[in-house]
Structure 1
Amino acid sequence: MVKTGSSFYHLISYVLEDKRELSEEQKMKMSLKDGVRHKDRAEILAYNNCFGDKYEMAEQFRDVARLSKRVEKPAFHFSLRLAEGDHLSRDKLIELAEALVKEFTVADHQYLIVLHKDTREQHFHIIANRVGLNGKAATDSNSYKRITTFCRKQEQKLGLTQVLSPKVFLPKEQQSLPRQDRRKTRLRDHISQTLRKVNNYPDFEKAMCSLGYTIIKGRGISFIDGKKVKTKGSEVGFSHSKIEKILSLKMELREKQSEKRSWEVFTRGRTNDDFVDRLDHTSYLGPAIQQLSSIIEQLLKPEIADGQLPYELTQRAYDRKQKGKKKGRSL
């Protein structure tokens, strides 16, 4: 994330202090629950051409910013968060942050690097002065594209998880290619694995909640993960009706398996003709169980509609676009 602002004081206060909306009691409870630090969350990793408390640093930044009368928003605010499971040492985090200020040509300007410890994923903030000590200002043009390109390069250099860039920043030849969303892949795997383990919907919902999802059920079903991102079940190949169908078939399978076990116990050691007749009568159980197991297994392998193509490349999107054009011509 990269933004520009006009108030150094408010940005510096934000990165150095705890969240103001949390009481001391809430910080303690949330820290125990989340396994992170909500109290004294900020750790200063490095200063450059600045020192002191938030008031002193804000004044120093403002003094230098006044050297340029053309810059209305002299404050650069950078924020980088590592992907889930990635971890860098303190020195490597500083190295990454210093590479970022160099990329935005503010390496010799005033800046402050602060690590926040209130999330499971490592993330840090940089407050930098766009105006240098010589009065010249660093450009903020194409900031999002520049930081996106920077992140992809650093992921490769540092061996970090490769994250998808927004399509608008990709070369034209790559914008139309199907892409794998790690968040959706993870959700799809969690649903599939959970459905293998449980036999009814209440247990399914309980298990998914234990994995960090909030479930919203209406005409369809949606899952909200720990980052508050909402994803429809149908987007990952598991619509509400499909989940119910799988659980219903599993219930039928259990009943037939139970019937087969009971029959095997009852007929153990019996050889009379009456028994043979009844054995023939129930010989369908084996093939029926096998067939049900096969159907369930196929349903647990989701097929994403339209081969996981981006919506704008699907037949449905094309038809809708053509319909809109015809409607426009008829007006």
Structure 2
Amino acid sequence: MIAKIIEGRSFGGCVGYVLKKDSEVIHSEGLRRDSAKTIVQDFNFQRMLNPRLGKAVGHIILSWNTADKNMLSNDIMVSSAKRYLSKMGIRDTQCLMVRHHDRQHDHIHIIYNRVNDYGKTISNSNQRYKSFKACKELNALYGFKQSEGKKNVNRGRLKGNDRTRYQIYDAVKAGIRNSRNWSELKSYIRYRGVELQFKYRSGTDEVQGISFSKNGQTFRGSAIDRSLSYVQIDRALNGIDNVMEQNHGMESDVSTDRSMATNMGETIGYLASALFSIPEIVPEQEDPCIKKRKKKENYRLRR
């Protein structure tokens, strides 16, 4: 099971999209299910408890692997969705769960009101981290197959920001495999229409993060995929540097031999210098107390 989180402003548009042909409402809370119109009215009525919140529409898509198809009933989907919402801190609010059957993999849409039953705003902080952790725990609890990442995503069905995000992901991943350093990576992905920008710590040259741009859209590296953060890419490039340097050394034995001979000569020279050089002798300074006592003794002898 994996989750995709979206926020919006219009309950009407979101409900209209979710309740399309062949959709199936499998659960709801705090809503009249007479029609799409009454559902939207109820969402908007509660929304007025906190009219200052612009993006009051919470929309989550839970998707399962095709290997889980035989074990997925409506009850299992609702049960896992409720646990997911609880782990995300989404509770005491209206929600609608709708199952779609238009794709190979089973998935449900959850619409919830970010204005809860008491007029308070449901926090959206650290959503991606909490969602990743929740999905991992629920996959283990229910025995769902863990996602294999982005390689099995059908790129042809993607649109808008999702399409751009995956184009960036594919370009950067290919660039990492074919680059030895940041400069080469930057040139490689630019050829494929992707620009790279570093984020620096205020007032310093220390790189704090990274983002990528394509088709006028900009995304943080970690927002595209956890493996595209600055730290992860830097580690991957360093690893490739080491492997390529080893391969280069195997292909150029003569150059390697010369380098080894030079290093050996420098080492021998250093050892010879250390063995045969005469160190500078610094005279030992006399203790001031002893010096003063000797001076008194000489004075008495002269008397």
Question: TM-score, normalising length from structure 1?
Answer: 0.46
Question: Comparing both structures, which one devotes a greater share of its residues to strand?
Answer: 2
